[in-house]
Structure 1
Amino acid sequence: MASKEDFFEHIEKGYSTKGDFITMGAAMLNGEAINSALVKVPLKTLNRHGLIAGATGTGKTKTLQVLAENLSDKGIPVLLMDLKGDLSGLAQPSPGHPKIDERHAKIGIPFEPKRFPVEILSLSEQDGVKLRATVSEFGPVLLSRILDLSETQEGITAVIFKYCDDNKLPLLDLKDFKKVLQYATGEGKEEFTKEYGRISTSSTGTILRKIIELEQQGADLFFGEKSFDVNDLTRIDEEGRGYINILRLTDIQDRPKLFSTFMLSLLAEIYDTFPELGDSERPELILFIDEAHLIFNEASKALLDQIESIVKLIRSKGIGLYFVTQNPTDVPNEVLAQLGLKVQHALRAFTARDRKAIKLTAENYPLSEFYDTKEVLTSLGIGEALISALDEKGRPTPLAATLLRAPMSRMDILTENELKDVIDSSKLVKKYGEVIDRESAYEILNEKIEKAEELAKEEKEEAQTKRRTSNTRRSTRQNPVIKVLTSATFIRGVLGVLKKVMR
């Protein structure tokens, strides 16, 4: 059996860092926390993404909370996807508890209750900063991925965008896109065929049905103006702490299409907007995606490819993505392979499938002379986790079963009044609160159709007037034959009268 001294030296060496770092807790040996054997994650490698996994009730949300708090304290802004509605407590300090003091005494670090700067965001009708994006900002490729279109349908979508660009028709919301789609095979069919080739009505019908499906999940609230500026996610408060942006998603758990639509558009916008940073000393923004399986379960192959590409590329912009889910197998292998920090809470071996998942999970971690990884995975307690990170040179740190530190903020939700105070004091709520519905493709095409209909009506009336005038003229002008006959009859009549007089 390894001695505590050997283990302490092993952890100290493996988690030593020259730069700034976040302390996760103290390493454990044989179920006992080794005081001051601290597990530290360098800020330099936090843009290499990560995973927080574990069975329900093992402490994943509290781990997420701890990471968000410490990032904020280091001046790094955070975006949290709050699907369960239990993260708003970050805005209030922890009331403390004897068990928290006992835990921190075992870890060897002091406990300090704190509140953090919080911004409440919303994708739906819930109160908060409204997140919106225009259809134009999505572009034809991303919109096609979200709608899971075929190659032919993607081509039609690209043509629709090209037509709108050529004719200066803003595509702001879904009703704009639907209007242009209907116009392409209706009133504007001749125009489209002449300029862009024939468009199949069956293909546009399929695209239209998929847009309606997206609308039914609430996407009409997301598409539109005023567009959210992703740079507003990187704000720092007057004390130098990064804002913790909490996106409330409690009312869209049953609408995964909307969730994945938002996530992909957000990541694409961040990638397009943020500058290249290369090998920076600290991340610019960290995103935590809770209930990550909602993205992957409903995603098409094209959408998964898009997510995988963004995960690979976005870290050079100083962005870290952290997936929070029950089992690592919820995340595709291609994405899992990109994750540097892994925080694995306990897994339960109730079924053969569970045992297989535990075996696969254990194989994702470095070998350790101090642990039987499969055994540890099923014996971890609440607030304990296996941790594997990357050191400052990008090398995996030693595997450490860790007694995690407690959150400094409240481990509960805000009251309605507390939540209202946070929202009422927000500058961003005022900035994005107004819904703008300026003239766009829908209105412009409706006006164009109305003018065309009026012109057609005028031309029809003019043609009818001409026909009536022509008929009137013909009725007052004698046919030459009739004219001759009339003259002859008149002469015969006159001669007849003369004959009677002469007799």
Structure 2
Amino acid sequence: MTTKETFFNYINESNKTKGDFITVGAAMLDGETITNAHVKIPLKTMNRHGLIAGATGTGKTKSLQVLAENLSDKGVPVLLMDLKGDLSGLAQASEGHPKITERHEKIGLPFEPKGFPVEILTLSEQDGVRLRATVSEFGPVLLSRILDLSETQSGIVSVIFQYCDNNKLPLLDLKDFKKILQFATQEGKDEFNEAYGRISTASTGAILRKIVELEQQGADLFFGETSFDTQDLLRIDENGRGYINIIRLTDIQDRPKLFSTFMLSILAEIYSTFPEQGDSDQPELIIFIDEAHLIFDEASKALLNQIESIVKLIRSKGVGLYFVTQNPTDVPEDVLGQLGLKIQHALRAFTAKDRKAIKLTAQNYPESEYYDTEEVLTSLGIGEALVSALDEKGRPTPLAATMMRAPMSRMDVLTDAELNTLYTNSKLVKKYNETIDRESAYELLNDKIKQAEAEELKEKAKKEQETLKKAEAKKRSKSTRSRSTAMNPIVKVLTSATFIRSVFGILTKVMKK
């Protein structure tokens, strides 16, 4: 038996699966594609998270597209973070190409062009289904981590949330939160001091500055109503295919704080609302996070800890997270250690740092008698990748250099007219795109302050009136005493002109004598 035949049997034996699976391509040996040596990923283990990595232009986005399409076909909904704006083409069938046909002949798979059910979502003012969440839904712990607050400042945030709960003050948007912070150290200072102890104006000022920083990245558009219901990510179309929900993030690439805020909020909401799934045959939802380094580069230590905790726990809800980035070293080791599927496209060794990164990357893959992993990493062509998955028993499958299959949908963006058709036909646009600004903490506190000011003015006016009344009473008393004295008969006689003249007359006579 030749080495090629041995390898063919080795790949097919290691990729046997009893349950449903996704075929991502065919294995390669010595640069040659081995037809029908299919590399498969069991659906059963796709909630164990994954990584798609590789240098720019090596085919990461197309691999993401292939996984999303095949998951949708299997009835698994998908959520994609589209930072480059090149994934909307999933809604339309591929136009096909001779090179695609040739690729699939080598792989041993028929090429079937098709479009998929797509929903366009947005965090900003771009067209699409508006994604929002309220401040209350974030809660004090997650909000404090997003804002990177100190322990003391986080304690103040917890007190603020408790006060709002106790006084039925809804915290919906950032203006609500800013208003209650100001109220705690100004108009409501005495009330807060009595119930919770003194709150430092320096601490509330620092928190306010962090909120302003978040607002400057566009978070004021994200916080508010109507809150997005994560159950709407799980829709299945009339043909039994899962919806591919694409969040267009092309205008927030330079606002990583907003991106991190959104990611953590949606993951926390999914974890708190999705039921425990246990050991099921397929995942409930798969989330692809493109340009994943944007989350990790700007994250504080507390935020990283939160992300790592969610990555570890969320798979029990049947949710798989897939990070797409240029280099595996962009992802923290604690997160990298949780990943079951790895699709590694070519890496480039231009510098000593690059060569070191390649060496570290090679060590993250199972050893193989058929490959020198370090060498293969730099020699892979476009649309080729090293693939290692988990089998149905959770064991890593043998490493396979793989000729990846081509996407069935368009490898380009939709036209404006095609996008408008998607928006027009969307049920979720009608559900979420009306802005609601109902009475919340901001309005209720303003009313409370106005009422307190009115009471204060009323009390002041009352005191002024009482002072005036006392002054008038005193004046009347004095006037009465004057009149009584004047009316006294003795006083009248003593002050009469006749009496005075008589007295002066007597005095004159006495003096003359």
TM-fit CA distance, 1:478: 2.3
Tell me, yes or no, if structure 1 residue 104 matches structure 2 residue 104: yes
Correspondence for 1:48? 48
The one-letter code sitting in structure 1 at the alignment partner of 2:501 is: V
Matched, 1:281 2:281: yes
Counterpart for residue 493 of structure 1: 495
Q: 1:2 to 1:168 in 2, by over 3 A?
A: farther
After TM superposition, the structure 1 = structure 2 runs for residues 191-270 of structure 1, keeping only pairs within 5 Å, are: 191-270=191-270
Aligned residue for 2:478, secondary structure, equals coil
Deviations 1:87-126 (A, max 9, x none): 0000000000000000000000100000000000000000
Q: What are the equivalent positions in structure 2 for 1:164-203 lying under 5 Å apart?
A: 164-203=164-203
- Correspondence for 1:466: 466
Structure-2 separation of matches of 1:232 and 1:496: 108
The alpha carbon displacement at 1:466 in A equals 1.5
The SS at the match of 1:456 is helix
CA deviations on 1:147-190 (whole Å, 9 max, x unpaired) are: 01111111100000000000000000011111111100000000
Distance between the aligned counterparts of 2:156 and 2:226, measured in 1? 27
Q: Is the 8 A contact 1:20 1:43 kept in 2?
A: yes
Checking the alignment, whether the CA contact within 8 Å between 1:278 and 1:316 is kept in structure 2 is yes
What pairs up with 1:370-409 in 2 under 5 angstroms?
A: 370-409=370-409
CA-to-partner distance for each residue in 1:388-420, whole Å, 9 max, x for gaps?
000000000000000000000000000000011
Q: How does 1:3-402 map to 2 (within 5 A)?
A: 3-402=3-402
Q: Which residue is 2:410 aligned to?
A: 410
Supply the distance in 1 between the matched residues of 2:493 and 2:145 (Cα, whole angstroms): 90
Amino acid of the structure 2 residue aligned with 1:151: E
1:2–1:370: 8 Å Cα contact kept in structure 2?
no
1:492 is displaced (CA, Å) by 3.9
**Structure 2 Cα separation of the partners of residues 187 and 195 of structure 1:** 15
Partner AA of 2:495 in structure 1? G
How far 1:475 sits from its partner (Å)?
1.6
Over 3 Å counting, the alpha-carbon distance change for 1:214 and 1:55 in structure 2 is: same
Look up the SS of the partner of 1:477 in the other structure: helix
Q: Which amino acid in structure 2 is aligned with residue 298 of structure 1?
A: E
- Matched to 1:155, the amino acid is G
| Residue aligning to 1:434 | 434
1:14 is displaced (CA, Å) by 1.0
Higher mean alpha-carbon deviation, 367-376 vs 476-485, is at 476-485
TM-score, normalising length: structure 2: 0.96
CA contact (8 A) 1:123 1:249 kept: yes
| Paired amino acid for 2:120 | I
Percent identical residues: 74
Whole-angstrom CA distance in 2 between matches of 1:105 and 1:81: 31
Alpha-carbon distance in 1 for matches of 2:158, 2:2: 64
The amino acid of 1:48's aligned partner reads: R
Amino acid at match of 1:493: T
Cα-to-partner distance string for 1:319-341 (whole Å, 9 max, x where unaligned): 00000000000000000000000
How many angstroms apart in 2 are the aligned matches of 1:480 and 1:454?
A: 38
**TM-superposition CA deviations, 1:188-236 (whole Å, max 9, x none):** 0000111111111111111111011101100000000000000000000
Q: For 2:162 and 2:233, how far apart are their aligned partners in 1?
A: 31
SS at match of 1:322: strand
CA displacement at 1:469 relative to structure 2: 1.8
Q: CA deviation at 1:471?
A: 1.1
Could you tell me whether the CA contact under 8 Å between 1:181 and 1:204 is conserved in 2? Answer: yes
Query: 1:493: Cα distance to partner?
Result: 3.0
Q: Quick one: structure 1 residues 137 and 484, their matched pair in 2 at CA, closer, same or farther if it must change by over 3 Å?
A: same
Deviation at 1:458, TM superposition (A): 1.1
Displacement of 1:468 in angstroms is 1.4
Shift, 1:457, TM fit: 0.6
Number of corresponding residues:
503
- Give the Cα separation in 1 of the matches to 2:491 and 2:331: 104
**AA partner of residue 191 (structure 1):** E
Alpha-carbon displacement from aligned partner over 1:54-80 (angstroms, at most 9, x marks no partner) = 000000000000000000000000000
State the one-letter code of the partner of 2:136: S
Deviation readout 1:7-49 (Å, 9 max, x if unpaired) = 0011011111111000000000000000000000000000000
SS at match of 2:455: helix
Instruction: Give the Cα separation in 2 of the matches to 1:224 and 1:490.
Output: 84
Letter in 1 for 2:331: V
**Displacement of 1:473:** 1.8
**Structure 1 SS opposite 2:152:** helix
Residue 476 of structure 1 deviates from its aligned partner by: 2.3
